Chain A
Amino acid sequence: MGMTVVEKILAKATGQKSVKAGDVLEPSVDVAMSHENAALVINQFNEVYQGTGIEPKVWNPDKIAIIFDHRVPAESSKTATNQKKIRDFVGANNIKRFHDIRSDEGGICHQILAEYGYIRPGFVVVGTDSHTTTHGAFGSFAFGIGATEMATVWTLGKVLNVEVPETIKVIVNGKFSSNVYPKDLILHLIGKISAQGANFKVLEFHGEVIKNMPMSGRLVLSNMAVEAGATAGIIPGDDETAFYLKEHGVTEKIEYVTPDADANYCQVVEINVDDLVPMLACPHTVDNVKPVTSFKGKHVDQIVIGSCTNGRIDDLEIAANILNGKKVAHGTRMLIFPASWNIYKDAMKKGYLETFASAGAVIMNPGCGCCLGVHQGALGDGEVALSTTNRNFKGRMGNPKAEVYLCSPAVAATSAISGEITEPAKGEL
């Protein structure tokens, strides 16, 4: 029996010829990422060594990445103290892949790992963040873990007791309409298989739509795979993967991991995007997915464009083209937070930031804060947000009495002008 991508990656990471779904393994880790929750990882890490007489020492500082993004700059003394503690640890352990609160290296962790070329096809990547699935877009096995589990990784360099997941094959064919984007596709898929449809499983993406999709779109699909419960969302490496990595300074030859023709899938989901329309994930679950037109005219108080899902330069370009020379409706506020400072500066050079500022949008510094309601951009009681982020759980943007709808950057920008939920016109973009 052949192997899926995740089976091949885990076979290699454990030095075996073959593995199959259900096997329990302890794979070695290639990249271990944390953000501000490294503060808790440090506690747990020190706890592991307590009473052993062994000096605490991370297994390999070059495989650890730490990025400040959740509350930047710190919103409270508590956060600032956590960040200081992490900074001290980073220095003491000689961790070089550290991205502090700086406009020459900072940004949202998942964008930083991508644009700094830290990920390769075939890697085992763990992060103390559920959207670590993002890096499956590079053909890696990337999944979220908790802080205590990361302490184990820092100690031993491997994840203990990993059960090889079953794989759902997702085949996407057809052609997007001019107002439909990868975000609409992933919302459609989550709505179709449900928020738990891929729990404990891997989504492996195939088909002509995926083959022709640039990395920016692939990152959207893998990022939101976790919203269907998936452990990982893998897009096998191809020329686009190699092209992106080369563009981002990687000089070595890129080897791809592709599934065997006779690999065993627990389920196959086929999607044709010819008739796909702009979609919304409606309150309060990501799988409550409906066409944008079903909420046409609904007033929106806050529009958000940004995050590890849709805060890349392509997303800002789409929004800037729609907003160019237009105004954000009064009674609606618009927040833009690019996914990294490199994107911020690129958008500045291309004139997008000027377009946003002239339209009345507020440009925020790159970070996660608004998406999870921890730092700026909170909603008032009874308010409605329309956002390109990835979660709409009750309370997500800081207020359990508010509503969050999720959409593509095109829907967000179009709706900003009207102040109400509006489907972008076809062919105008």
Chain B
Amino acid sequence: MAKVIYKFGDDISTDAIYPGRYMATVLPTETPQFCFADYTELNEKLKSGEYAKGSAIVADNNFGCGSSREQAASTLRGYEMLVIAKNFARIFLQNSINVGLNLITCPDIEVNIGDELELKGDKVLNKTTGKSFEIIPLPKARQSIVDAGGLIPYTRKILVDSTKK
């Protein structure tokens, strides 16, 4: 179960998720402090724990557009965020899968702030309104990276297998 803490419109850039001025900070253990740094209230409530880990944010189209900075994925991963959008920008989608942040593509999603969501198979169930919305599954090739727990363990297995030959 995940509570919706914030709703975004179209074209939320990686500069919005993780402003460029904090890019010298790279470690996944350190990036969460700057998550949505320019959305002061959201940032503070995430840091203070007022918004519980595993909360949900819901966006319209092209979430994560812009730069390739992986901090934008790792900063959300730090809060185990459930990120639902109508669709995602390519590099951000791939980065998120690579670092183990699972994104949900859900073109018809309808929520209000405070609603409780649950993932049920191929649907997002809005428990507050009782409505459910279809999830567009990840392409198979990407799902295999998710299933491996991210790109590092996925690559490690290929590396180890290749040296056994």
Contact = CB atoms under 8 A, between A and B. Distances in A.
A156 B158 contact: yes
B99 interface: yes
Given A78-B24, A396-B20, A196 B11 contact: yes
A76 B24 contact: yes
Contact of B87 (A43, A161, A196, A231): A196
Contacts of A127: 68
Contact of A146 (B65, B98, B142): B98
Interface stretch (B49-57, B89-97, B111-119, B126-134): B89-97
Interface string B142-154: 1011000011101
B165 interface: no
A78 B30 CA distance: 13
A79 B90 CA distance: 28
Contacts of B87: 196, 199
A66 to B, nearest CB: 15
Contacts of B27: 40, 43
Interface in A358-407: 372-374, 391, 393-396, 398, 400
Contact of B99 (A50, A148, A372): A148
A152 B98 CA distance: 10
Contacts of A40: 26-27, 70
Given A24-B140, A70-B23, A146-B94, A400 B151 contact: no
Contact of B91 (A82, A130, A400): A130
A32 B123 CA distance: 39
B33 interface: no
Nearest to A228: B65
Given A161-B142, A229-B89, A373-B19, A195 B68 contact: no
Interface residues of A, number: 56
A149 interface: yes
A79 B24 contact: yes
B48 to A, nearest CB: 21
Interface string B1-44: 00000000011010110011101111100000000001000000
B141 A48 contact: no
A47 interface: yes
Interface in A202-220: none
B62 A196 contact: yes
Contacts of B16: 393-395
B22 to A, nearest CB: 9
B68 A148 contact: no
A317 interface: no
B26 A146 contact: no
B90 A229 contact: yes
Given A47-B152, A48-B159, A199-B90, A149 B98 contact: yes
8 contacts: A47-B152, A54-B160, A82-B24, A128-B68, A130-B91, A146-B99, A152-B151, A231-B90
Given A76-B24, A161-B141, 11 more contacts: A54-B159, A54-B163, A78-B24, A146-B68, A146-B95, A148-B152, A151-B155, A152-B155, A373-B21, A391-B15, A400-B19
The 10 A-B residue pairs whose C-beta atoms are closest, nearest first, are A146-B95, A161-B141, A372-B20, A196-B62, A40-B26, A146-B70, A393-B13, A144-B68, A400-B38, A24-B141
